[in-house]
Amino acid sequence: MAKKTTTKKQKEEVLEDILLSCRDSLRGRAALSDKRDMVLTLVFLKFISERYHDRCKEIREENADDPEYAEMLISQKRTAFGEKGVFMLTPETDWESLKLTAPNKLAVALDDAASKLMESEAKLKNALPAALFVNSGTEGNVIKEVMDEIDKITHKKFREKDLIGRVYEYFLQAYAIQAKDSKEDGEFYTPHSIVELIATLIEPFDGTLYDPCCGSGGMFVQCAKFVEQHGGNSLNVSVYGQESDPTTYRLAKMNLAVRGIEYNLGDRHASTFTQDMHRGRTFDYIMANPPFNLKRWYVSSLENDVRWKGYGRPPESNANYAWILHMLSKLKEGKGRAGFLLANGALDDEDTVKIRENLIKEDKIEAIIVLPREMFYATDISVTLWILNENKRGGIENGRKLRNRKNEILFVDLRSWSGNVYEKKYVKLSDEQIAAAHKIYTDWQTEAEPYKYERPELYRAVGIDTLEANNWSLVPSRYIKFIDRDNELDYDTVLADAGAMVKKLLARQDENRSLLINAFKAIGYDAE
């Protein structure tokens, strides 16, 4: 009898069932934020343990001729693990030991493991919740149920290239959606396809990457994937970030650490505006999803901040342009590129006209791309992807010869690309759509005739004179041509066709009436 094979689809369904079971075990057991943190902490402990044991196996294989030396490395040499991005564990922090703990002692053991990891590993300082399991009040047998489900997830069973990432992103996304539904804060997760679009457009293949409001670290993770998928080495990209929310700061450190990504998020959570953790440093690339329309950001010490010099101070009521100018100040002069998201209101705010004018005159804006609605879990508004570029003069870049795009901006409207729906209502861009957006962008950079690159209802490149004539507005619909379908109609032809159809229907009605009258006459009735 032939051996039954498991298809990729079947394998994915089994994994999804395991992940759903983890969430089901905790339903109604704790606050949403506690459930999220408990699941992600357990996933973190499971996968750092799996990476630790894989590394132990490597060390033994590398030193097969000297087993005693191998065991010495495993028990004493932290560098044997750290150089591979793996954390050195002890029985108190090892998942294999923790899962054998009696349920009534499990909450304490897990909290102790988190505390010991943060003490022993500098990268994990302030990364894990303190006393999470004890304070949540969750019964030990419930925690054990979740651990038993998570323990089923292993690279030995699910041979996926980024199994860790897939599991981690599932829970980040799931709890972000749940947060939206329960009206809690779900903004810490940026949907995967949006991050991929940004990475595809700014192409951060090597150098330094920065995110001033890094959330759960999704921009960094997707960047690492992008580099690997394009034949590069993610180790060639150094990531720097900052996050003001303490919970999200921890999530980011866990997310990056569990994947073995080297990072510098500063030594604490802090406001980027008032406590820049990377003061004086500039970067090759920036990817960001700042909080939309942030209100309480301004303090009096920012009045004459150097970041506003030459552009104007952003309005105190909204941080959108403060984010823009901060990121601009962080780009390497003459080469840096940034891709970030803002609410559409930033395209045409009346109180930021002068800043927009200066940004356009200084030639910092390369592209404005409006995205479809319903892409975010925390809001259903349409948002805009901005591309800033410190070098629009042209030259060779990533194997392409770019033309001079001085005083020209590309506008793209992707609101109609809303057909790829998941989770009943949320929209994501497909791989084909991301590739199509990349082609629109790179064709404009390389082949287009200046100021004559356009396709109605999708994109158009315009020059500074047109922008000035529109009072420096960056709303794409002011520049992209939208076809008025009603004005395209030939009404004489339409009316003639309609008249002919009515005549046919009337003739058919008369014919049917005549047939009915004759039928009645045949049986002796006068149907007239």
Tens-digit pLDDT string for the chain (528 aa):
444 444 444 444 478 888 889 888 888 777 777 888 888 899 899 999 999 999 999 999 999 999 999 999 999 888 888 888 899 999 999 999 999 999 999 999 999 999 999 999 988 988 898 899 999 999 999 999 999 999 998 877 886 666 776 787 777 777 777 765 544 444 456 888 999 999 999 999 889 999 999 988 888 988 888 888 878 878 788 999 999 988 889 888 988 888 888 899 998 999 999 999 999 999 999 999 998 899 999 999 999 999 999 999 999 999 999 999 999 999 999 999 999 999 999 999 999 999 999 999 999 999 999 999 988 876 777 799 999 999 999 999 988 999 999 999 999 999 999 999 987 788 999 999 999 999 999 999 999 999 999 999 999 999 999 999 999 999 999 999 988 655 554 556 656 666 666 666 666 666 666 766 666 666 666 655
Any bridge partners for residue 386, and if so which? 340, 368
- Comparing CA positions, the residue from 114, 142, 129 lying closest to residue 27 is 142
Q: What is the 3-state secondary structure (H, E, C) of 61-124?
A: HHCCCCHHHHHHHHHHCCHHHHCCCCCCCCCCCCHHHHCCCCHHHHHHHHHHHHHHHHHHCHHH
- Comparing CA positions, the residue from 232, 242, 344 lying closest to residue 283 is 242
Res 224: pLDDT: 85
CB 448 within 8 A of CB 405: no
- Burial call 506-515: b when 16+ CB within 10 Å, e when fewer: eeeeeeeeee
Res 519: pLDDT: 63
User: DSSP for 350-400?
Assistant: GGGHHHHHHHHHTT-EEEEEEPPSS--SS--S-EEEEEEES--S-EEETTE
CB 278 within 8 A of CB 242: yes
CA distances to 169, 323, 418 from 244, rounded to whole Å, are 21, 14, 32
Res 405: pLDDT: 97
Q: Is the pTM of this model over 0.85?
A: no
Q: How far apart are CA 477 and CA 342, in angstroms?
A: 17
Residues in the chain: 528
Contacts of residue 31, defined as CB under 8 A and 6 or more positions apart, other chains included, come to: 136
